[in-house]
């Protein structure tokens, strides 16, 4: 199985990233095996039936509390990253923007959410503009350090500071999570997946929940 967890910086990926992804993949395999007649598989990791990653309570750029129930009737794609990320985060958000374009009229039924793992530097003003640079409908969410840590843990997301001279960068899991329109966690999207494969999976979720 291909790894779907990458560092937010260049260089070798820590072994812990691969272990984090393996845990996500294993959870997906276990819940998939519990369902009879699972003939048509997703191209992403199928997390249907997962008992974790059920919700989040974070703040938007205006300081309003945002939770999963706010997006009932839409698929939600959730990605954890940081705005100074050199390649992984821009790649994931650019792919999400491509997915929006490919969805056509159905694009209004997908909400992409960027959650910062670097709230010390990613201010509300920055989080207002950064996701919108990829698509005007994308939103950025943040929290204090403790809530950020708890939320990441709830979604099996690993992140850590990595010193770089007088500053630092962040290592973090590069998996995107997708909820269906009823608010159930359904997919873990590997970083290596194409926009075509992600669009196919989201289209299927939307058809399941017209």
- Predicted confidence at residue 32, as pLDDT, reads 45
pLDDT per residue as tens digits for the range 50-66: 999 999 999 999 999 99
- Predicted confidence at residue 2, as pLDDT, reads 34
Question: What is the homologous superfamily of the domain 15-208 according to CATH?
Answer: Glutaredoxin (3.40.30.10)
Q: What is the CA radius of gyration of the chain?
A: 16
Asked if the model's pLDDT at residue 23 lies above 70, the reply is no
Q: Give the orientation angle of helix 195-208 with respect to helix 88-103, to 10 degrees.
A: 50
pLDDT score for 173? 96
pLDDT in tens, 4-15: 344 454 334 444
Q: What 8-state DSSP symbol labels residue 142? A: B
Q: How far apart are CA 207 and CA 210, in angstroms?
A: 5
pLDDT at 24: 52
Residue 108, number of CB atoms within 10 A of its CB: 12
As a whole number, mean pLDDT of residues 76-96 equals: 97
* Average model confidence (pLDDT) across the chain: 87
Closest CA to 174 of 11, 12, 20: 20
Give me the sign of the Cα torsion angle 144, 180, 27, 80.
negative
């Amino acid at each position: 199985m291909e790894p779907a967890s990458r560092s937010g910086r260049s260089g070798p990926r820590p072994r812990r990233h691969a272990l984090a992804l393996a845990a996500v993949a294993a959870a997906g395999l276990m819940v998939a095996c519990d369902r009879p007649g699972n003939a048509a598989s997703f191209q992403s990791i199928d997390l249907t039936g997962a008992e974790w990653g059920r919700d989040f309570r974070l703040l938007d750029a205006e300081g309003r509390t945002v939770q999963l129930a706010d997006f009932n009737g839409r698929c939600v794609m959730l990605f954890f990253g940081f705005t100074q990320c050199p390649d992984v985060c821009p790649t994931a958000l650019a792919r999400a923007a491509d997915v929006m374009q490919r969805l056509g009229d159905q694009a209004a039924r997908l909400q992409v959410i960027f959650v910062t793992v670097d709230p010390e530097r990613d201010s509300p003003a920055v989080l207002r503009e950064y996701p919108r640079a990829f698509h005007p409908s994308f939103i950025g969410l943040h929290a204090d350090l403790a809530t950020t840590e708890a939320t990441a843990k709830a979604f099996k997301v690993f992140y850590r500071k990595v010193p770089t001279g007088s500053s630092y960068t962040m290592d973090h899991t590069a998996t995107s999570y997708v909820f269906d329109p009823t608010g159930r966690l359904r997919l873990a999207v590997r970083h290596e997946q194409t926009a075509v494969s992600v669009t196919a999976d989201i289209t299927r979720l939307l058809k399941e929940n017209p």
